[in-house]
Amino acid sequence: MTAARAIIHVDMDAFYAAIEALDHPQWRGLPLIVGELGPRSVVTTASYEARRYGVRSAMPTMTAKKLCPHALFVPVRMGRYRELSAEVFAVFGEATPEIEGLSLDEAFLDVTRSLRLFGGDVENIGRFLKQEILRRTGLVASVGMAHNKLLAKLGSELSKPDGFLHIRPEQVHAMLDPLPVGRLWTVGKVAEAQLHRLGIRTVGELRFSDSRRLRQACGNQAEHWQRLARGIDERTVDADSAEKSVSAETTFVTDLTRLDQAESWLARLGERVGERLRAHELRGRTVTVKLRKPPFETHTRQLSLGQPTDSTAELLQAGRALLRRWWESEENPRLRLLGIGMSQFAPELQSGLFAPAAGGKDQLADRINRRFGGGSLVRGVVLKSRRGQTEEK
């Protein structure tokens, strides 16, 4: 059953940086870093020219500047990235409806049922995806193909940039055995160190290791890891997993030390989340507030609502309650980062026959902001404090 599947993993090459170079041809070939230069900003992505100097995503931009002093730093333009992401996913939809989006620039596709339409060869579908994405967007995609998700993802990773690699069943051990164990799905840094202590450094060594000894040292995960080392992965492409949460967060150059400042920023972020919820016709039950104390101590607080909603007012009411509760519990509250999000999406419960239409004011505000630009109309509390430069995600 596993060998009969045809799975494709598509990962756009340096997606945000590639879009900036596409829109600004004079930047092509330069070490380009997407992310504002600041003491608390991080690299969103970097062009391959910048990566040669050791620049990586999530790295502080000040560190990236030291590694590559002549790099060009550009701000994030999420609206533009989403626009081109939609075009990329439209190409996916022409190959199969079974698409599991992992991010704006990455997805798994189950093309098993589409093989006959493309001559029975998964590589024909892979070539179609690469060529159509390039033709329609001017952007390059790396494509991995295999009979399961683990191997398809490895195919795109191992062949980047401009990758195209089909890992066939008879090639699995030759491809996997030399790789570091950390390349396997679910083997993170802690698990990798644990395996290293056992003398297991490659996937091949993991595959041939004594199962009993491994289980005694690593517990129930041991069997799972050895199955992966053999190239076995039975996960399905989950076409219903596109949107699990909607959130917005801000990192502050200067720590927030007053509750009114924090509430003002929370309101600003909540406006953005509410607008995204309504734009995607999503209603959620769970509100999450993310709080980070300096230097890097992160807390999250959650509250479940009585019924699903896309109302900014309801989102902020819950968010403020969570923020105040955390603030009052801290001896010396300071915030380096603040975020708010909505999750656990479900259909909205039907209100009473004569209840007023929900979201009327929100929808009016959304229309004004779409017409005149985001932030044109905001709640009064937002205007109380807009001090400090931030990196917004």
Pinpoint the residues of the chain covered by CATH 3.30.1490.100: 245-392
Pinpoint the residues of the chain covered by CATH 1.10.150.20: 174-229
What pLDDT sits at residue 250? 82
How far from the centroid of its chain's Cα atoms is residue 1's Cα? 30
What pLDDT sits at residue 367? 58
What's the mean pLDDT when you consider all of the chain?
A: 86
- 355 in Cβ contact with 363 (< 8 Å): no
pLDDT higher than 90, residue 381: no
> pLDDT, tens digit, for every residue of 28-42?
999 999 998 888 788
- 243 in Cβ contact with 280 (< 8 Å): yes
| DSSP secondary structure letters along 45-106 | EE-HHHHTTT--TTSBHHHHHHH-TTPEEE---HHHHHHHHHHHHHHHHHH-S-EEEEETTE
Q: Which residue has the higher pLDDT, 42 or 354?
A: 42
- 137 in Cβ contact with 157 (< 8 Å): no
User: What is the percent of the chain where pLDDT is above 70?
Assistant: 86
Q: Name the residue among 77, 34, 28, 66 with its Cα closest to residue 49.
A: 28
For residue 141, the number of C-alpha atoms closer than 13 Å in the C-beta half-sphere is: 32
Question: Predicted confidence band at 24 (pLDDT cuts at 50, 70, 90)?
Answer: very high
Give dist(CA 111, CA 125) in Å, integer.
8
* Residue range 174-229, CATH number: 1.10.150.20
Residue 39 class from Cβ within 10 Å (0-12 exposed, 13-18 middle, 19+ buried)?
exposed
Q: Which segment, 50-54, 118-122, 350-354, is predicted with the most confidence on average? A: 50-54
Give dist(CA 370, CA 372) in Å, integer.
6
The residues near 242 (Cβ < 8 Å, ≥ 6 apart) are 99, 100, 101
What pLDDT sits at residue 146? 97
Cβ neighbours, 10 Å, residue 334: 15
Cβ neighbours, 10 Å, residue 371: 9
- 58 in Cβ contact with 42 (< 8 Å): yes
Order of all β-strands in the sheet with 164-166: 99-103, 106-110, 7-12, 141-146, 164-166
Mean of pLDDT values over 74-81 = 90
Q: Name the residue among 137, 203, 136, 124 with its Cα closest to residue 164.
A: 124
Question: Predicted confidence band at 388 (pLDDT cuts at 50, 70, 90)?
Answer: very low
Give dist(CA 26, CA 18) in Å, integer.
12
What pLDDT sits at residue 1? 38
Question: Predicted confidence band at 380 (pLDDT cuts at 50, 70, 90)?
Answer: low
Cβ neighbours, 10 Å, residue 110: 21
pLDDT higher than 60, residue 384: no
The residues near 23 (Cβ < 8 Å, ≥ 6 apart) are 80
The residues near 337 (Cβ < 8 Å, ≥ 6 apart) are 249, 250, 251, 252, 290, 291, 292, 298
**3-state DSSP assignment of residue 32:** strand
Distances (CA, A) of 47 to 30, 57, 316: 8, 10, 37
Task: Write down the H helix ranges in 240-359.
Answer: 259-279, 312-329
Cβ neighbours, 10 Å, residue 389: 13
What pLDDT sits at residue 377? 52
Question: Predicted confidence band at 372 (pLDDT cuts at 50, 70, 90)?
Answer: very low
CATH number 3.40.30.10 given to 245-392: no
Superfamily for the 1-166 domain: Reverse transcriptase/Diguanylate cyclase domain (3.30.70.270)
Active site members: 106
Q: Which residue has the higher pLDDT, 121 or 362?
A: 121
Q: What is the pTM of this model?
A: 0.66
Q: Name the residue among 142, 162, 140 with its Cα closest to residue 154.
A: 142
Mean of pLDDT values over 379-390 = 47
Give dist(CA 315, CA 286) in Å, integer.
9
> pLDDT, tens digit, for every residue of 241-287?
555 678 888 878 788 999 999 999 999 999 988 888 887 778 898 99
